[in-house]
C-alpha cells in the first residue's frame, strides 16, 4: 500500500472517530517518515479515546491513554480533563503534581471549569488541591472569600455572607456558588425571585445540579420526579426528608416517572390506586374520576381503594361515560337514577334535576320531549329555551287551553321576550282576537320600534277589522281602523290595499258610483294587466260582501289578455298576501275567474324559471293542483332541468295526496330522492322524503310484497335483499319511542324471572302449540324477550298496540320451517 | 385540556361579576387579531361558566379533564417547603459531582 493511500485511510478513520484504527495507521506511517502532522493526529486520537473511556466511567484507563499522547506532542492537550480523571480514579498525588504545572493564567482563564471544579472539591469535599495552585492566581483570594461567605451563611450571618459574596468579581470560579447562596439568603422574598436567581446558574456549571434540586424543592411540584430520578440515592433522601415525603411516595414518584408517555388510562389508574394510601384524598379522587371516564371498568377498584361513590355521583359518572361512547340509551338510565337520588332533596337539588330533565329532553321528540321540558320547569322555572320549545309545540293548536296556559306562563316569566310575544301575536291572529294582536304587537314595538313583523301583523289586524266592519255594516268604525293601518306607513303595496278597500267601503256604505270610480282608479293605477285587476277585485269584493259581477263589469275585459312575466310575479305576490290572510275561498274563486287567460298565458308565454318556480310554489301552497298541473304540462317540467319540476309533476298529478300515488309515482320519487341527495339539494330531499313517508303510511301492509311482485314475478329470491330483511323485533317494537322502550325494558328486567319459557309456553297454548313454541324459542331466542316486553307493558298498563298473536306470527313468518299449529 | 376556570384564570367558586371581569381582562390581553384561536377559547370558556346555571350545567355534565402532572402537582402541593435550610444546602453540596456534569463544565468553559 502506498503512503498516500495509507494516509488517506488513516485520515478517514480519524475523521470517522475510529481513533484506535487511526492510531495504528498513523503509527505505520511514522515508521516511514516522522511527520509532525501525523504525530499530532496520534496525540489527538489518544486524548479522544481517553475522553470516551472517561465518559464510560473508566477514569484510570482514560488517564493512561492521555499519558500516552504526551509521546507524540510537545504541547499537552486537555490537561484539565486529565486532572479531573486523576481525581476521579483516586490518584491525588498525580493530580496535585499536574495542577502545580498549571500557570496562574491557565487556572484563571483557560481552564475556568477546572477551577470551579477544584473550588467545589476544596470547599465541600475537603480535598486539598488549593495549595498547589500557582500562588499568583486570583483563585486563592476568591477561594478565601467563598469559604468565609459559605461559613457565614451556615452560621446564619446572611449579611456578612452577602457582603463577602459581593466582593467576588464576575470572572471567578465561585460566581455560581455566589448565585446559589444569594438565592437562599433571599428566601424571604418571592419564590419566583429565588427561582430566577437559581436559573441564572448555567446548566454547565458544577453547581447546576444542586441549583435544579433547590428550584425543584421550592417549586409547587414541577420537575421533581425527573430531578429525583437524576440524583443520587443520598440526594433523594435529603430531598424527600426536606419535602416530608415517605418511602412509598418516593417509590410512587419513581414509578410514575417511568410510565410510558402514552400510557393508557387503565395503566395510570391502576398505578395510582395501588398507591392510594399514600396520596392525598381530594386530588386522588378527582383524578381517578377523570380517568374513570376513559376506563369505566375501574369503578369497582375505585370504590374499594379510594372511596365509595354516592348513588348520584356513581350514576352521573356512568351516564357521562355512556354519553362519551354515544350510548344514549344507557346514559338515559343512569340519568334517571340520578333524578331518583336527587329528588330525595328536591329543594336543594332543583337546578340539577331541571338540567337533567333538559338533557333527557334533548334526546326525545314531540310529546315525550315536551313532557320532560315541562317537568324541568317544575324545578327551574327560568329556562327560556324550554318555554320556547313548549310553546312552539303547542302553538299548532292556538285555541287549546294548554297552549294558552303555557303562553301565559311564558309571558309572565319573560314579559319582554320578543319570541314569546310573536308566538302570542300569531296565536291571537289565528284566533281572530284582533284586540290582543294589537296589544301584543304594541308591546313588541315598544321593545323594538323597527320590528317589521309587528307592524305588518298590526296592519293585518286593522285591515281584518276594517273588513269585518264593512261586512257588519258598522261603517262608522271603518275609518278609524283604516287610519290606524295608514299610520303604520308600510309602503306603496299596503297603501294600494288601503286605497282599494276604501273604494269598496265607499261602494258599500256611501255612493256606489263614486265607489266604483275609486276602485277602478286604484286598480288601473296599480296594474297594467286587467287579469290582475280582475283577480284582486274579485277577492276584495268577496271579502267585503260586495257583488263581484258589478265590480268586474266596471273593469277592462281580461278574457283575451296574456299575462306578462312581470305580471305573473305581481300575481304571485298578491296570491301570497291573501294566502297569509287565509282568504282561501276568495283566492280560489278569483283564480277561477281568471283561469282561462291565465292558462293561455302559461301555454303561450315563455316565463323565466325563477318567476315560474315562485308561482308554482305559491300554487302548491294554496293547493291549486289544476293550475299546477297546467304549469308542469306546458311550461315547467319539460323546459327546465331543475329536479324540483319532477316533484311538482308528481304532486300535481296526485292532487297533493301521496296516498293516491301509484307505485310508478313512488319509484319516480325514489329516483328523485337519490338525485336530490347526489346534488345535495336538502330542500328537495325533505319534500320528497315527506311525500314518501306519507305514501308509506298509507301503504304499509303488503308494501314490500307488492314491490317484490312487480320486480320479481317468478318469486326468485334476490340475494342482495337478504341483508335488508327486517328484524322481527324491529318490526314489532320499532314504532315505540326510546323513552317508552326504556321503561318497558326496565320493567322487563324486574319481571323476567316470573316467566320462564315453559310458563310462557303454557300461557300461549291458545295461540301456538307448546312444543312448537319451545322449538321456536330455540331457533329465535328473541321471541322470548319480545313476549316479556309485552308482559312488561301489561304490568305498566301501557298500550303499545301489539298482541301476543302478532308477536308469534311475526317470528313464525321469519322462521317458516317451525312446525306450527294456529288455532287462529 | 384546561378547564374554563383555568382558561379565565379564576377559581371555581368565583361569582358572575368576578368571572366577567376576568373574561374582559383576558380578551383585552388576547384580542382576536393577535390570536384568533385563543380568543375563541376564552369566549367559549366564558359562555360555559358565565352564570350560575351554566356553571351548574358544566359541573353536572362534565368530568373535569386533568393532566397527570396537574394531579401530581395537586397531590404533592402540601409537600412544599418555604425555605431551604443552610444545612440542607451543605448536605446537597457534600456529594461528588456527577462526571457527566463535570465533562460538560470543562467542555463549555474552555477558552
The alpha carbon of residue B39 is apart from the nearest alpha carbon of chain A, in Å, by 27
For A103-160, how does the pLDDT look when each residue is reduced to its tens digit (9 = 90+)? 999 999 999 999 999 999 999 987 788 999 999 999 999 999 999 999 999 998 999 9
For A84-104, how does the pLDDT look when each residue is reduced to its tens digit (9 = 90+)? 999 999 999 999 999 999 999
CA A525, CA A493: separation in Å to the nearest integer? Answer: 12
C-beta atoms of B74 and A283 within 8 A? yes
pLDDT at A227 over 80: no
C-beta atoms of A206 and B102 within 8 A? yes
- Chain A residues within 8 A of B75 when measuring between CB atoms: 221, 279-280, 283-284, 287
For A524, the grid coordinates are 288601473
Interface with chain A: mutation pick from B53, B61, B72, highest number of A CBs within 10 Å? B72
Grade residue A711 by pLDDT with cuts at 50, 70 and 90.
very low
Tell whether B93 is within 8 A of chain A (Cβ): yes
Grade residue A421 by pLDDT with cuts at 50, 70 and 90.
very high
Of A184, A206, A221, the CB nearest to B73: A221
Length of chain B: 111
Among chain B residues, the shortest Cα distance to A151 is held by B86
For A658, the grid coordinates are 301521496
For A327-360, how does the pLDDT look when each residue is reduced to its tens digit (9 = 90+)? 888 899 999 999 999 999 999 999 999 999 999 9
Grade residue B111 by pLDDT with cuts at 50, 70 and 90.
low
Which position has the higher pLDDT, A510 or A592?
Answer: A592
Q: Is the dihedral of CA A188, A191, A195, A197 positive or negative?
A: negative
CA A625, CA A588: separation in Å to the nearest integer? Answer: 11
B59: burial class by Cβ within 10 Å (0-12, 13-18, 19+)? middle
Of B79, B84, B109, the CB nearest to A113: B109
Q: Per CATH, which fold does A1-101 belong to?
A: 1.25.40
Mean pLDDT of all residues in A538-562? 89
Grade residue A698 by pLDDT with cuts at 50, 70 and 90.
confident
Query: What is the count of residue pairs from A and B with beta carbons less than 8 Å apart?
Result: 182
CA A467, CA A542: separation in Å to the nearest integer? Answer: 10
pLDDT for residue A722: 41
- Chain A residues within 8 A of B2 when measuring between CB atoms: none
The interaxial angle of helices A36-55 and A79-88, nearest 10 deg, is: 40
For A94, the grid coordinates are 498525580
C-beta atoms of B104 and A123 within 8 A? no
For A437-493, how does the pLDDT look when each residue is reduced to its tens digit (9 = 90+)? 999 999 999 999 999 999 999 999 999 899 988 888 888 889 889 999 999 888 888
pLDDT at A820 over 70: no
Grade residue A707 by pLDDT with cuts at 50, 70 and 90.
very low
Tell whether B53 is within 8 A of chain A (Cβ): yes
pLDDT for residue A107: 93
pLDDT for residue A181: 92
Q: How far out from the chain centre does Cα A155 lie?
A: 62
pLDDT at A500 over 60: yes
Q: How far is CA A393 from CA A216, A346, A355, A373, in A?
A: 62, 27, 20, 11
Interface with chain A: mutation pick from B73, B86, B90, B107, highest number of A CBs within 10 Å? B86
ipTM over 0.90: no
pLDDT at A719 over 50: no
B110 — phi, psi (to 5°)?
A: -65, 135
Of B56, B73, B86, the CB nearest to A352: B56
Residue found by looking up cell 328537495 in the block: A684
C-beta atoms of A238 and B69 within 8 A? no
The helix/strand/coil state of B110 is: strand
CA A139, CA B14: separation in Å to the nearest integer? Answer: 58
Residue found by looking up cell 313532557 in the block: A371
pLDDT at A378 over 70: yes
Q: Do the Cβ atoms of A319 and A338 come closer than 8 Å?
A: yes
Which position has the higher pLDDT, A347 or A755?
Answer: A347
Domain boundaries, chain A: 1-101, 259-308, 641-725, 728-814
CA A570, CA A615: separation in Å to the nearest integer? Answer: 10
Tell whether B33 is within 8 A of chain A (Cβ): no
Q: What is the percent of chain A where pLDDT is above 70?
A: 92
Q: Is the dihedral of CA A591, A593, A596, A601 positive or negative?
A: negative
pLDDT for residue A135: 92
Mean pLDDT of all residues in A770-799? 83
CA A529, CA A107: separation in Å to the nearest integer? Answer: 111
Q: Which of residues 688-707 of A touch B (CB under 8 A)?
A: none
CA A593, CA A548: separation in Å to the nearest integer? Answer: 10
pLDDT for residue A817: 56
Interface with chain B: mutation pick from A87, A118, A221, A296, highest number of B CBs within 10 Å? A221
Q: Do the Cβ atoms of B57 and A356 come closer than 8 Å?
A: no
CA A353, CA A6: separation in Å to the nearest integer? Answer: 89
Tell whether A565 is within 8 A of chain B (Cβ): no
Of B57, B75, B79, the CB nearest to A243: B79
Mean pLDDT of all residues in A45-69? 95
- Chain A residues within 8 A of B76 when measuring between CB atoms: 221, 224, 243, 245, 249
Tell whether B80 is within 8 A of chain A (Cβ): yes
Among chain A residues, the shortest Cα distance to B57 is held by A355
For B11-65, how does the pLDDT look when each residue is reduced to its tens digit (9 = 90+)? 989 999 999 999 999 999 999 998 899 999 999 999 999 999 999 999 999 887 7
Grade residue A304 by pLDDT with cuts at 50, 70 and 90.
confident
Tell whether A108 is within 8 A of chain B (Cβ): no
CA A651, CA A694: separation in Å to the nearest integer? Answer: 12
Mean pLDDT of all residues in A733-752? 79
Grade residue A710 by pLDDT with cuts at 50, 70 and 90.
very low
CA B1, CA B68: separation in Å to the nearest integer? Answer: 11
Tell whether B60 is within 8 A of chain A (Cβ): yes
Q: How far is CA A392 from CA A186, A367, A370, A412, in A?
A: 68, 12, 10, 17
- Chain A residues within 8 A of B97 when measuring between CB atoms: 117, 120, 206, 209
Grade residue A411 by pLDDT with cuts at 50, 70 and 90.
very high
Q: How far is CA A112 from CA A168, A173, A754, B111, in A?
A: 15, 6, 90, 8
C-beta atoms of A243 and B96 within 8 A? no
Which position has the higher pLDDT, B87 or A401?
Answer: A401
C-beta atoms of A286 and B64 within 8 A? yes
- Side-chain half-sphere CA neighbours of A192 within 13 A: 0
The neighbour count for residue A137, using CB atoms within 10 Å, is: 21
Q: How far is CA A700 from CA A697, A736, A800, A822, in A?
A: 6, 17, 18, 24
C-beta atoms of A110 and B110 within 8 A? yes
pLDDT for residue A190: 66
List of domains in chain B: 4-75 (1.10.287.110)
A479: burial class by Cβ within 10 Å (0-12, 13-18, 19+)? middle
- Chain A residues within 8 A of B57 when measuring between CB atoms: 355
Nearest to A629 by CA among A613, A593, A653, A603: A653
For A697, the grid coordinates are 303510511
Q: To the nearest whole number, what is the mean pLDDT of chain B? A: 88
Q: To the nearest whole number, what is the mean pLDDT of chain A? A: 86
- Chain B residues within 8 A of A323 when measuring between CB atoms: 61
Q: What is the DSSP letter of A362?
A: H
HEC readout, A494-521: HHHHHHHHHHHHHHHHHCHHHHHHHHHH
pLDDT at A798 over 60: yes
Amino acid at each position: 500500500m502506498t503512503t498516500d493511500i495509507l494516509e488517506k485511510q488513516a485520515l478517514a478513520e480519524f475523521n470517522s472517530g475510529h481513533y484506535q484504527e487511526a492510531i495504528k495507521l498513523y503509527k505505520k506511517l511514522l515508521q516511514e517518515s516522522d511527520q509532525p502532522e501525523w504525530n499530532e493526529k496520534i496525540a489527538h486520537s489518544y486524548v479522544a479515546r481517553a475522553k470516551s473511556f472517561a465518559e464510560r466511567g473508566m477514569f484510570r484507563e482514560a488517564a493512561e491513554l492521555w499519558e500516552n499522547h504526551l509521546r507524540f506532542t510537545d504541547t499537552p492537550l486537555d490537561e484539565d480533563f486529565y486532572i479531573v480523571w486523576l481525581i476521579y480514579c483516586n490518584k491525588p498525588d498525580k493530580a496535585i503534581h499536574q495542577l502545580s504545572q498549571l500557570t496562574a493564567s491557565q487556572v484563571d482563564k483557560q481552564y475556568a471549569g477546572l477551577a470551579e471544579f477544584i473550588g467545589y472539591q476544596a470547599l465541600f469535599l475537603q480535598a486539598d488541591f488549593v495549595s498547589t495552585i500557582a500562588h499568583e492566581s486570583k483563585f486563592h483570594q476568591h477561594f478565601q472569600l467563598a469559604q468565609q461567605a459559605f461559613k457565614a451563611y451556615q452560621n446564619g450571618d446572611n449579611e456578612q455572607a452577602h457582603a463577602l459574596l459581593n466582593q467576588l468579581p464576575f470572572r471567578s470560579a465561585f460566581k455560581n456558588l455566589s448565585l446559589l447562596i444569594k438565592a437562599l439568603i433571599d428566601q424571604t422574598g418571592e419564590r419566583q425571585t429565588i427561582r430566577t436567581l437559581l436559573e441564572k446558574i448555567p446548566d454547565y456549571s458544577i453547581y447546576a445540579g444542586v441549583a435544579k434540586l433547590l428550584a425543584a424543592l421550592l417549586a409547587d411540584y414541577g420537575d421533581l420526579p425527573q430531578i429525583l430520578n437524576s440524583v443520587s440515592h443520598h440526594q433523594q433522601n435529603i430531598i424527600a426528608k426536606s419535602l416530608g415525603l415517605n418511602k412509598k411516595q418516593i417509590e410512587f414518584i419513581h414509578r410514575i416517572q417511568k410510565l410510558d408517555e402514552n400510557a393508557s388510562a387503565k395503566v395510570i389508574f391502576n398505578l395510582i390506586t395501588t398507591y392510594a394510601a399514600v396520596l392525598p384524598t381530594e386530588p386522588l379522587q378527582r383524578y381517578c374520576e377523570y380517568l374513570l371516564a376513559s376506563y369505566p371498568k375501574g369503578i369497582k377498584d375505585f370504590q374499594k381503594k379510594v372511596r365509595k361513590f354516592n348513588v348520584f355521583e356513581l350514576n352521573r359518572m356512568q351516564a357521562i361515560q355512556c354519553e362519551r361512547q354515544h350510548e344514549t340509551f344507557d346514559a338515559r338510565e343512569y340519568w334517571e337514577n340520578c333524578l331518583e337520588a336527587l329528588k330525595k332533596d328536591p329543594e336543594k337539588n332543583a337546578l340539577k334535576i331541571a338540567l337533567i330533565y333538559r338533557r333527557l329532553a334533548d334526546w326525545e321528540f314531540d310529546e315525550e320531549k315536551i313532557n320532560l321540558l315541562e317537568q324541568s320547569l317544575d324545578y327551574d322555572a327560568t329556562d327560556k329555551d324550554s318555554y320556547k320549545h313548549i310553546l312552539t309545540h303547542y302553538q299548532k293548536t292556538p285555541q287549546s287551553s294548554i297552549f294558552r296556559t303555557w303562553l301565559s306562563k311564558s309571558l309572565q316569566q319573560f314579559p319582554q321576550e320578543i319570541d314569546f310575544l310573536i308566538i302570542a301575536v300569531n296565536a291571537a291572529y289565528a284566533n281572530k282576537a284582533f284586540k290582543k294582536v294589537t296589544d301584543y304587537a304594541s308591546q313588541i314595538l315598544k321593545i323594538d320600534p323597527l320590528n317589521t313583523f309587528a307592524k305588518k301583523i298590526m296592519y293585518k289586524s286593522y285591515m281584518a277589522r276594517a273588513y269585518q266592519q264593512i261586512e257588519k255594516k258598522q261603517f262608522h268604525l271603518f275609518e278609524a281602523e283604516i287610519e290606524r293601518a295608514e299610520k303604520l306607513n308600510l309602503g306603496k303595496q299596503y297603501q294600494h290595499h288601503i286605497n282599494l278597500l276604501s273604494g269598496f267601503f265607499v261602494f258599500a256604505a256611501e255612493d256606489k258610483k263614486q265607489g266604483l270610480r275609486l276602485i277602478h282608479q286604484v286598480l288601473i293605477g296599480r296594474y297594467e294587466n286587467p287579469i290582475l285587476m280582475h283577480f284582486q277585485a274579485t277577492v276584495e269584493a268577496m271579502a267585503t260582501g260586495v257583488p263581484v259581477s258589478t265590480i268586474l263589469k266596471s273593469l277592462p275585459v281580461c278574457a283575451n289578455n296574456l299575462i306578462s312575466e312581470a305580471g305573473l310575479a305581481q300575481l304571485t305576490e298578491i296570491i301570497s298576501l291573501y294566502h297569509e290572510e287565509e282568504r282561501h275561498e276568495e283566492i280560489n274563486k278569483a283564480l277561477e275567474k281568471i283561469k282561462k287567460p291565465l292558462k293561455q298565458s302559461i301555454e303561450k308565454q315563455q316565463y323565466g324559471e325563477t318567476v315560474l318556480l315562485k308561482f308554482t310554489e305559491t300554487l302548491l301552497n294554496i293547493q291549486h293542483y289544476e293550475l299546477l298541473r297546467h304549469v308542469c304540462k306546458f311550461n315547467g317540467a319539460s323546459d327546465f332541468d331543475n329536479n324540483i319540476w319532477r316533484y311538482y309533476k308528481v304532486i300535481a298529478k296526485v292532487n297533493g295526496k301521496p296516498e293516491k300515488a301509484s307505485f310508478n309515482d313512488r319509484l319516480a320519487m325514489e329516483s328523485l330522492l337519490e338525485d336530490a341527495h347526489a346534488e345535495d339539494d336538502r330542500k328537495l330531499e325533505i319534500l320528497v322524503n315527506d311525500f314518501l313517508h306519507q305514501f308509506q303510511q298509507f301503504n304499509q301492509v303488503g308494501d314490500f310484497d307488492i314491490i317484490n311482485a312487480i320486480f320479481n314475478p317468478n318469486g326468485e329470491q334476490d340475494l342482495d335483499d337478504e341483508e335488508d330483511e327486517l328484524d322481527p323485533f324491529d318490526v314489532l317494537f320499532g314504532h315505540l319511542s326510546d323513552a317508552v322502550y326504556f321503561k318497558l325494558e326496565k320493567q322487563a328486567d324486574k319481571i323476567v324471572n316470573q316467566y320462564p319459557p315453559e310458563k310462557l309456553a303454557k300461557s300461549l297454548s291458545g295461540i301456538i302449540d307448546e312444543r312448537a313454541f319451545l322449538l321456536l324459542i330455540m331457533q329465535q331466542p328473541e321471541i322470548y324477550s319480545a313476549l316479556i316486553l309485552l308482559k312488561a307493558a301489561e304490568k305498566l298498563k301501557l298500550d303499545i298496540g301489539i298482541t301476543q298473536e302478532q308477536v308469534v306470527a311475526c317470528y313464525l313468518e321469519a322462521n317458516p320451517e317451525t312446525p306450527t299449529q294456529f288455532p287462529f | 385540556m384546561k378547564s374554563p376556570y383555568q382558561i379565565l384564570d379564576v377559581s371555581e367558586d368565583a361569582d358572575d361579576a368576578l368571572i366577567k371581569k376576568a373574561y374582559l381582562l383576558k380578551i383585552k390581553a388576547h384580542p382576536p387579531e393577535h390570536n384568533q384561536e385563543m380568543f375563541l377559547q376564552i369566549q367559549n370558556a366564558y359562555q360555559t361558566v358565565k352564570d350560575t346555571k351554566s356553571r351548574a350545567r358544566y359541573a353536572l355534565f362534565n368530568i373535569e379533564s386533568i393532566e397527570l402532572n396537574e394531579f401530581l402537582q395537586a397531590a404533592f402541593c402540601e409537600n412544599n417547603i418555604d425555605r431551604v435550610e443552610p444545612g440542607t444546602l451543605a448536605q446537597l453540596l457534600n456529594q461528588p459531582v456527577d462526571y457527566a456534569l463535570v465533562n460538560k463544565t470543562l467542555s463549555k468553559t474552555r477558552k
